[in-house]
Structure 1
Amino acid sequence: MAENLNQIIPNIFIGDFSASQSITLLEKKNIRSIVSVIKHSSSSFPQFDYLNIPIDDNLNTNICQYFDIVTDWIQSKLILQPHFGILIHCAAGVSRSTTLLAAFLMKSKNLSPKDAISLISSKRPQVQPNDFFIYQLELYQNCNFQWDPVKVFINLLNWISFLTCSLISH
């Protein structure tokens, strides 16, 4: 049985929804801040700081628009509350939370999407971001870890152009 919460790096945890609802577990892990990546989220415990990212896990979700918001929020919590942990969770702790944690690791440690996801999966083997989320992480890296809709659009046009050329040549 998979764990519902795993520490990835010091003070950074990833988990499923049930982890965010267990006051005993949160206190045991010294967690005080929670990034909740589910469509309908509520702040269950008033003594915790919450960042709610209301998105679904599907191939239509624009998750990259939240990368800078989440990475900046996590970084500020690490600076302001260095002795407390942060939990990033979605429903299963597999795709959405992994993608946002990967964006943070990429930006803070200058990692590639593959290396960030490998680091997470080394501590939480069940992680598996959907293909579109991985593509958005690659765009984020190509934009030097800053959400820029113009750069994203240009990268998207280049990708479409590449696909079109490869289809025509076959």
Structure 2
Amino acid sequence: MSDACDFIDNALRSVPEQPTSKDDPQPTQGGGVLVHCGKGISRSATIVIAYLMRTRHMALHDALEMVRQMRRVKPSAAFMDQLAVWEKVEYEIWEDAGERIPKLAYKEYLCGCGSDFG
């Protein structure tokens, strides 16, 4: 999820601001990022929810509801579990910069031994 969120951030930052019109010189964001998957119901929704959680510091429930207001989505149970971990680890799954030591909630998710996951 970090890689996908970083990709979206970089893509949005690379778009130059552009004036809306000659009469309104206030610049606006000049573009966006298309996040898509086969049906647009589970995988792409999961990435958008993860992005909202990280960039707006939203709770999983709130980000899910925001996306549901815009689209008919239903992330799979496995993706919802991953988003719950994402929230618990505060959007960073690693303890170290070398990405070798997972945070406890992520480690529990990986081994299936966490009481909240599985």
Q: Do these two structures clear the TM 0.5 threshold for a shared fold by scoring above it?
A: yes
Q: Distance in 2 between matches of 1:104 and 1:147?
A: 14
CA deviations on 1:77-129 (whole Å, 9 max, x unpaired) are 111114112110001100000001100000000011111111001011x2000
Mark the runs of 5 or more structure 2 residues left unpaired by the alignment: 16-28, 95-100
Q: Distance in 1 between matches of 2:30 and 2:73?
A: 26
Q: Distance in 1 between matches of 2:50 and 2:86?
A: 8
Structure 1 residue 142 displacement after superposition: 0.6
Q: Distance in 2 between matches of 1:74 and 1:94?
A: 19
1:95 equivalent to 2:42? Answer: yes
Structure 1 residue 147 displacement after superposition: 2.7
Picking from 41, 56, 80, the partner of 1:134 is 80
Q: Distance in 1 between matches of 2:108 and 2:8?
A: 28
1:69 equivalent to 2:23? Answer: no
1:120 equivalent to 2:62? Answer: no
Q: Distance in 1 between matches of 2:78 and 2:40?
A: 17
Q: Distance in 1 between matches of 2:115 and 2:52?
A: 25
Q: Distance in 1 between matches of 2:61 and 2:30?
A: 29
Q: Distance in 2 between matches of 1:102 and 1:111?
A: 9
* 8 Å Cα contact 2:59-2:87 kept in structure 1: yes
1:78 equivalent to 2:42? Answer: no
Residues paired across the two proteins, number: 95
Q: Which has the higher strand share?
A: 1
Q: Over aligned residues, Cα RMSD in angstroms?
A: 2.0
Mark the runs of 5 or more structure 1 residues left unpaired by the alignment: 1-66, 164-170
Q: Distance in 1 between matches of 2:33 and 2:86?
A: 22
Question: SS at the partner of 2:44?
Answer: helix
Question: SS at the partner of 2:90?
Answer: coil
Picking from 149, 154, 166, the partner of 2:108 is 154
Question: SS at the partner of 2:92?
Answer: coil
Taking CA–CA contacts closer than 8 Å with sequence separation of 6 or more, which of the two structures ends up with the larger relative contact order?
1
User: In structure 2, what is the equivalent of residue 108 of structure 1?
Assistant: 55
Question: SS at the partner of 2:93?
Answer: coil
Identity percentage over the alignment? 26
Q: Distance in 2 between matches of 1:68 and 1:93?
A: 20
